Amino acid sequence: MSVDYSSRPAPWHPRVALIIALLFSWAGGGLIVYQNFARMGRAHLGRELLINSLLATLALILLALLFTPTEGTQLLILLLDLVGSVILYRLQLKPFQQWAKDHPQVMPSSGWTSLGWGLLGAVIAMGLAFFTSLVVASIGFRPS
C-alpha cells in the first residue's frame, strides 16, 4: 500500500515511542506506536499494540496498587517499565526500517511533535490509575 507523504506526516523513528513510554507511560508509547503504524499504512497492527499497551499499563498499575511498596516491588515496576518500553521499540523497528528503505526521500517526523500524544498517554494512565484505585479501595483490599 503506497501512502502519499506530501499530505500525510511521516512516521516517527521507533526510539520516539521508547522515550515517550519511559517518560509518559506505556499508554503514551502505545499511542505513538499506533500513530506510527497508521502512518505506515498498517493501522490494524497499531490498534492491537495500542490495546495491549493499555492493558499492560493497567497491569502495571494493579501491580503497584496490590503489593506493599518495598524496594523490591519498586525495582520490579521500574524494570518492567523499562522492558515494556524496549518491547514497544523493538516491535516497530523492522517495519520502520522497511518503510525507510521503501521511502528514502522521506525524512521521519521530528520526535518533538509526539509530545502531545505522550501527554495524552500520561493523562490516560493517570485516569486508569485513579479509577483502578477506586475499584481496589471499594472492594476493601489492603496490601499486606
Q: Is residue 9 part of a domain?
A: no
Q: Is residue 80 part of a domain?
A: yes
Q: Is residue 29 part of a domain?
A: yes
pTM of the model: 0.89
Q: Is residue 143 part of a domain?
A: no
Residue 58 · residue 42 · CB < 8 Å: no
Q: Is residue 108 part of a domain?
A: yes
Domain range holding 114? 14-138
The DSSP-derived string for 56-74 is HHHHHHHHHHHS---HHHH
| pLDDT, tens digit, 9 for 90 and up, residues 72-111 | 888 998 999 999 999 999 999 999 999 999 999 999 999 9
Q: Assign residue 140 a region (left: φ > 0; alpha: ψ between -120 and 50; beta: otherwise).
A: left
Q: Is residue 144 part of a domain?
A: no
| pLDDT, tens digit, 9 for 90 and up, residues 17-57 | 999 999 999 999 999 999 999 999 999 999 999 999 999 99
Number of domains in the chain: 1
